[in-house]
């Protein structure tokens, strides 16, 4: 039982504070990770470098064909996906490597940890996209009909990828050969999001209203997988 | 976590999964079986299924272009133009599904799928 | 300990009674003979004789899916009750499911090569069986990489459940979203199968499931014995 739960043992009078305490824990986890990251900028730097290099490499070789809708959408999401695979596992792996995981288990309820880490990963992905996507559009010479739709699909897609990627990160934290294993086990979980996000981005760039359907599909995926992850996380996280 | 939270979670997942399935079903490229319907959808790709009219099939070896006609349930026919190698079992197939856009009075197909009368039974 | 006694003669719980073992052998032999001697070559196929492979290909795919469902059921049971035997059964069933998935893929590729001239076409059914293989491979990679049997059991069971959630999309939805070479409607449509094919196919399915159950019980008994021996050694 976490310290927070022990402290709030009287159900009646602490019912409201219990939810607030949960939210505070999740926020604290996010804030700690953000603070650490901004201090050293290791992960952010490495992942951004990867994303930018891939974008430049891709546009260098594919300018003529890459500006076409389907190809551009697929390429931009590939770059985002591989950047995610290289950077999103850090949230849990670093806890394990620096031996701070046991303390974290005591300090916050499991789902608060999960939600805090999820929020961090989502923020990381959005930070990458803010840099990568405009660069990609510029270098490839893509025509974007509706930036609003593109932003929506990027946010939804990132949320979808983050949910699956964060749960997988927790699973590989204690495994050997983490890097390759992480990509391998995340892949089946993330294909649905990737496929729909590419289609949605293609639709958004063309200005078609079909993007609404893709947004809904990713939303349902997030609903299902997030609920499942919240139910399973305590099993993955426990000592 | 109490038992009922797991039940609630499972119900939520089932709900989202059901919603997802319904969207998926709606999302499929419209499957059209009437020529009149096919001709009316001009702005997006369609999948049209019809029986092959074998007498009217023409294949241009040099240009690699296959032009054939499909007949729908009502008896109307529509011409299909497919740029590519003639599928091996085309002559043996009785029906085909073509995917493409309808331009004017013909379908320019990017994919032709054949339904052969292959049945798992003796000749 | 001597040879593993599977017949129950020594009083230990039988994995499968001898009459049933012999019965299974005879049943499968009957199915094989029927597939080659009784079932007629299929009309309309480029290689009519090769259509017989459907009698072996479909049951393999079916058992693969059943094995996976069983594996997930035991994974949920493990998470609920934490019994090591549930984890052993989950892993054993997944292993057998992987075997049958590979068999289904290979038989499918042989048929595709003979019938359509190319072994792999990214046909939706082929793609979805490949997805199934990738999930199984990821599951075993995860199991192999986590030290400590309790952590391994917990985490792989969680992955099993999560992957099962996503599985319907990978296996059932993708085929419907695309067209394909796979003879849709030739199996499920009425009258698409002659009686001989229908009978032999049903018998083959029963035989394969029976075989799977037996193999699963052997695997589980083996895991139990190894666990017992491991415990004895550490004492």
C14 interface with A at CB cutoff 8 Å? no
CB B38 within 8 A of CB B48: yes
- pLDDT given at position B77: 85
pLDDT tens digits for range A39-90: 988 878 889 999 999 999 988 888 777 677 788 899 999 999 999 999 999 9
> Is the per-residue pLDDT at C7 higher than 60?
no
**DSSP assignment of C20-64, as one string?**
HHHHHHHHHHHHHHIIIIISPPPTTSSSGGGGGGHHHHHHHHHHH
C202 interface with A at CB cutoff 8 Å? no
- Tell me how many degrees the CA angle C74-C78-C83 measures, rounded to the nearest 5: 115
CB C197 within 8 A of CB C55: yes
Determine whether the interchain pair C154/A177 forms a contact, defined as Cβ–Cβ distance below 8 Å.
Answer: no
> Is the per-residue pLDDT at C178 higher than 80?
no
User: How far is residue C54 from each of residues A9, C47, C184, measured CA to CA in Å?
Assistant: 62, 13, 13
Phi, psi of C110 (to 5 degrees): -60, -45
What is the C-alpha separation between C144 and C125, in angstroms, rounded?
Answer: 29
Shortest distance, CA B29 to any CA of chain A (angstroms): 12
Mean pLDDT, chain C, as a whole number? 81
What is the C-alpha separation between A196 and B114, in angstroms, rounded?
Answer: 28
Mean pLDDT, chain B, as a whole number? 79
**In sequence order, which residues have a C-beta less than 8 Å from that of residue B95 and are 6 or more positions away?**
B49, B50, B51, B52, B114, B115
Quick one: tokens of A95?
């806890």
> Is the per-residue pLDDT at B68 higher than 50?
yes
- pLDDT given at position C187: 37
Determine whether the interchain pair A185/C142 forms a contact, defined as Cβ–Cβ distance below 8 Å.
Answer: yes
Determine whether the interchain pair B88/C44 forms a contact, defined as Cβ–Cβ distance below 8 Å.
Answer: no
Q: In the structure, what pLDDT confidence band is assigned to residue B27 with cuts at 50, 70 and 90?
A: low
- pLDDT given at position B16: 92
C178 interface with A at CB cutoff 8 Å? no
Q: In the structure, what pLDDT confidence band is assigned to residue A226 with cuts at 50, 70 and 90?
A: very high
Q: Quick one: average pLDDT of C36-46? A: 72
Place of tokens 């260098």: A60
Phi, psi of A97 (to 5 degrees): -70, -35
- pLDDT given at position B30: 62
User: What count of Cα atoms within 13 Å lies in the side-chain half-sphere of residue A228?
Assistant: 28
Q: Are strands B77-83 and B31-32 parallel, antiparallel or unpaired?
A: unpaired
Chain A residues close to C168, C-beta within 8 Å? none
Shortest distance, CA A140 to any CA of chain C (angstroms): 29
User: Which chain C residue has the Cα nearest residue A178?
Assistant: C145
What is the C-alpha separation between C73 and C216, in angstroms, rounded?
Answer: 14
Mean pLDDT, chain A, as a whole number? 88
Task: Look at chain C and count its residues.
Answer: 235
pLDDT tens digits for range C86-134: 999 999 999 999 999 999 999 988 888 887 777 777 777 777 888 889 8
Chain C residues close to B92, C-beta within 8 Å? 44
pLDDT tens digits for range C221-233: 988 888 888 777 6
- pLDDT given at position C121: 72
Closest CA relative to residue A192, chosen from C131, C28, C108 = C131
> Is the per-residue pLDDT at B123 higher than 50?
no
Residue of A11, A70, A217, A227 best to disrupt the B interface, most CBs of B under 10 A: A227
Q: What share of chain C is helix, strand, coil (3-state, %, to 5)?
A: 75, 0, 25
Which 3 state secondary structure label does DSSP give C64? helix
């Amino acid at each position: 039982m976490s310290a927070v739960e022990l402290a709030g043992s009287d159900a009646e009078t602490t019912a409201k504070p219990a939810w607030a305490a949960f939210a505070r824990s999740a926020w604290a986890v996010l804030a700690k990770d953000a603070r650490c990251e901004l201090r050293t900028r290791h992960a952010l730097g490495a992942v951004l470098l990867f994303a930018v290099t891939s974008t430049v490499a891709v546009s260098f070789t594919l300018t003529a064909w890459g500006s076409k809708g389907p190809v551009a959408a697929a390429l931009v999401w590939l770059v985002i996906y591989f950047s995610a695979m290289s950077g999103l596992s850090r949230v849990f792996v670093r806890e394990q490597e620096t031996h701070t995981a046991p303390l974290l288990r005591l300090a916050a309820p499991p789902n608060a940890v999960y939600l805090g880490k999820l929020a961090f990963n989502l923020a990381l992905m959005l930070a990458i996209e803010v840099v990568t996507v405009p660069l990609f559009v510029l270098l490839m010479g893509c025509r974007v009909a509706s930036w609003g739709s593109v932003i929506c699909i990027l946010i939804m897609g990132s949320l979808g990828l983050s949910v699956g990627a964060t749960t997988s990160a927790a699973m590989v934290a204690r495994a050997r050969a983490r890097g390759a294993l992480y990509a391998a086990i995340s892949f089946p979980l993330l294909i649905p999001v990737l496929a729909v996000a590419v289609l949605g981005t293609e639709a958004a760039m063309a200005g078609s209203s079909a993007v609404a359907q893709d947004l809904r599909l990713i939303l349902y995926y997030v609903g299902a997988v997030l609920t499942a992850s919240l139910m399973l996380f305590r099993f993955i996280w426990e000592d | 976590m109490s038992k009922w939270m797991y039940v609630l979670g499972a119900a939520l997942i089932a709900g989202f999964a059901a919603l997802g399935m319904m969207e998926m079903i709606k999302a499929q490229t419209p499957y059209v079986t009437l020529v009149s319907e096919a001709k009316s959808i001009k702005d997006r790709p369609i999948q049209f299924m019809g029986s092959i009219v074998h007498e009217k099939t023409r294949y241009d070896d040099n240009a690699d272009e296959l032009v054939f006609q499909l007949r729908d349930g009502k008896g109307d026919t529509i011409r299909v133009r497919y740029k590519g190698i003639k599928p091996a079992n085309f002559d043996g197939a009785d029906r085909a599904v073509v995917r493409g856009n309808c331009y004017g009075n013909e379908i320019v197909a990017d994919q032709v799928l054949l339904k052969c009368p292959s049945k798992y039974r003796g000749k | 300990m001597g040879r593993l006694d599977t017949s129950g003669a020594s009083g230990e719980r039988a994995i499968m009674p001898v009459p049933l073992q012999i019965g299974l052998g005879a049943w499968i032999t009957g199915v094989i003979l029927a597939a080659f001697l009784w079932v007629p070559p299929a009309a309309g196929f480029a290689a009519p004789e090769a259509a017989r492979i459907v009698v072996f290909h479909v049951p393999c795919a079916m058992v693969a899916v059943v094995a996976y469902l069983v594996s997930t059921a035991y994974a949920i049971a493990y998470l609920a009750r934490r019994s090591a035997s549930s984890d052993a059964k989950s892993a054993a069933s997944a292993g057998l499911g992987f075997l049958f998935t590979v068999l289904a893929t290979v038989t499918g590729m042989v048929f595709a090569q003979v019938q359509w001239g190319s072994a792999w076409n990214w046909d939706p059914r082929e793609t979805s069986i490949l997805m199934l293989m990738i999930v199984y491979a990821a599951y075993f990679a995860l199991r192999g990489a986590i030290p400590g049997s309790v952590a391994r059991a917990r985490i792989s069971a969680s992955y099993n459940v999560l992957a099962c959630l996503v599985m319907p999309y990978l296996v059932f939805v993708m085929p419907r979203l695309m067209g394909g070479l796979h003879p849709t409607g030739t199996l499920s449509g009425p009258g698409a199968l002659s009686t001989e094919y229908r009978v032999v196919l049903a018998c083959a399915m029963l035989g394969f499931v029976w075989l799977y159950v037996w193999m699963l019980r052997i695997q589980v008994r083996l895991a139990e014995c190894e666990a017992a021996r491991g415990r004895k050694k550490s004492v």
